[in-house]
Amino acid sequence: MVKISPSILAADFSKLGEQCEMVLDAGADMLHIDVMDGHFVPNISLGIPVLESLHNSLSNAFYDVHLMITDPLKYIEPFAKAGANLITFHLEADSPVQQTIDAIHQAGCKAAVSIKPNTPAQDVFPWLDQLEMVLVMSVEPGFGGQAFMESALDKIAQIRAKAQQMGLNQLMIQVDGGVNPTTAAACVKAGADVLVAGSAVFRAAQPKQAVADLRGQEA
Ligand code: DX5
Ligand code: ZN
């Protein structure tokens, strides 16, 4: 079944714990933690202490950490210690890819690489057999609430086809940015199986309905 990972960037930070509990109760499979350093992307969001607090109070949740930072390698260990279960870093960041994947695995987390809209799908192919997930950005990273870029669909399909050709049937493909009940179906059809949705879940009048709609199911 398709997994839903609500991005906490769209939450009301004055009641973050309650809001995360709400989306988990609504059927979300994990929590997407968008970390921005004001350097890799033109925005600053949140970091290690926030993840640590969430993990302390909601210890059973699965933390899907999306690092939009210039030097991910430097921060793998502290994010893992703070409670990350899966760590995604950008292929366009400055850290050596192999070392960063190894550091994530050594820290006991699942590893994922993300590509921005202008990075071709082929750029992740050399790393596919070492990754648990690939994240295809369907907006320019940095801000929530942007419109979905259709160009992500082709990239998802190319990565899914390559993974199948390599026998990597367990590889997850995540899509992030502008995913809502209208754009979700095409993502799944292209081969995505983890949908990140910020606004579409946290700002929904009925989060349970929103999660079900994203999955293309009845609530
Ligand atoms: C963008 C972030 C996304 C974003 C998604 O840089 O990586 O996770 O918050 O938000 P929506 O679903 O509102 O586009
Ligand atoms: Zn994200």
Task: Using most ligand atoms within 8 A of CB, pick from 8, 9, 183 the residue to mutate for ligand 1.
Answer: 9
Question: Is 12 annotated as catalytic?
Answer: no
- pLDDT at position 139 is 98
Kindly give the distance from the C-alpha atom of residue 137 to the centroid of ligand 2, in angstroms, as a whole number.
8
The tokens describing 8, both together, are 């906490």
Reduce the DSSP state of residue 187 to 3 states and report it. helix
- pLDDT at position 172 is 98
What pLDDT, in 10s, does the model give residues 61-84?
999 999 999 999 999 999 999 999
pTM passes above 0.85: yes
Task: Using most ligand atoms within 8 A of CB, pick from 146, 179, 202 the residue to mutate for ligand 1.
Answer: 146
Question: Is 102 annotated as catalytic?
Answer: no
- pLDDT at position 137 is 98
Reduce the DSSP state of residue 19 to 3 states and report it. helix
Nearest atom in ligand 1 to the alpha carbon of residue 203 is 13
Mean pLDDT score across all residues of the chain:
97
Starting from the CA of residue 198, give the closest ligand. Answer: 1
Question: At CB < 8 A and 24+ separation, what contacts does 20-25 make?
Answer: 20/54, 20/58, 20/61, 21/58, 22/207, 23/201, 23/202, 23/207, 23/211, 24/58, 24/61, 25/208
Largest CA distance in the chain: 46
- For the chain, 219 residues long, give each residue's pLDDT as a single digit of tens: 899 999 999 999 999 999 999 999 999 999 999 999 999 999 999 999 999 999 999 999 999 999 999 999 999 999 999 999 999 999 999 999 999 999 999 999 999 999 999 999 999 999 999 999 999 999 999 999 999 999 999 999 999 999 999 999 999 999 999 999 999 999 999 999 999 999 999 999 999 999 999 999 877
CA distance 217 to 118: 32
